[in-house]
Amino acid sequence: MFDLKREAPDDWWEVEALLDLCFAPGREALSSYRLRDGVEPVAALCLVARDEEGTLAGAIRHWPVRVGAVPALLLGPVAVHPTHQGEGLGGLLVRESLAEAARLGWERVLLVGDAPYYGRFGFTRLEGVEMPPPTNPERVLGVELRPGAWEGVAGPVRRWNEA
């Protein structure tokens, strides 16, 4: 059983340590991190999961971005501590955060990831949505939180605060 809560400021260092553990060194050099630079995550969609002992077991964050001029959420990173992988925690974090995003009125979410994993949450390849290089276009996936939300949406993905 996991206790799922909104990430608090006191969780920041613990979450960063988990991300360092789960992802290769230099993770901040990835193109998705350039979209996060100078932008605050959507606090209501940043969740942490703690196990029965109160140890951080997983975390997920979402960031506002624009595809052309259209607002969207960039999901990621999502991380699960190696001792809890295979327990369904990653799926729980994704499902809960997407449900909350829909409740908050967000219409579309994108990410860079593996289609076989994220397909079970409704993510499919986005045609014409361009992440900063060197992102593989096959890994740019999206899900609609409102039917038709991705129809006609194309162009470069930019930081939320870029004009």
Q: Helix/strand/coil (H, E, C) string of the chain?
A: CCEEEECCHHHHHHHHHHHHHHCCCCHHHCHHHHHHCCCCCCHHHCEEEECCCCCEEEEEEEEEEEECCEEEEEEEEEEECHHHCCCCHHHHHHHHHHHHHHHCCCCEEEEECCHHHHHHHCCEECCCEECCCCCCHHHEEEEECCCCCCCCCCEEEEECCCC
- Given a cut of 90, whether residue 151 has pLDDT beyond it is yes
- Given a cut of 60, whether residue 109 has pLDDT beyond it is yes
When pLDDT is cut at 50, 70 and 90, the band that residue 134 belongs to is confident
**Average pLDDT over the chain, rounded to an integer:** 93
Higher-confidence residue of 29 and 10: namely 10
- pLDDT on residue 28: 61
Domain range summary for the chain, segments of one domain joined by +: 3-159
Q: Give the residue-averaged pLDDT of 90-112.
A: 97
Residue range 3-159 forms a domain whose CATH class is: alpha beta
- pLDDT on residue 13: 94
Query: Among 14-28, 44-58, 65-79, 126-140, where is mean pLDDT lowest?
Result: 14-28
When pLDDT is cut at 50, 70 and 90, the band that residue 162 belongs to is confident
How many percent of the chain have pLDDT more than 90?
A: 83
Across the strands, what pairs with 152? none
Cα 15 to Cα 60: distance, rounded to the nearest angstrom: 9
- pLDDT on residue 26: 67
- pLDDT on residue 85: 95
When pLDDT is cut at 50, 70 and 90, the band that residue 23 belongs to is confident
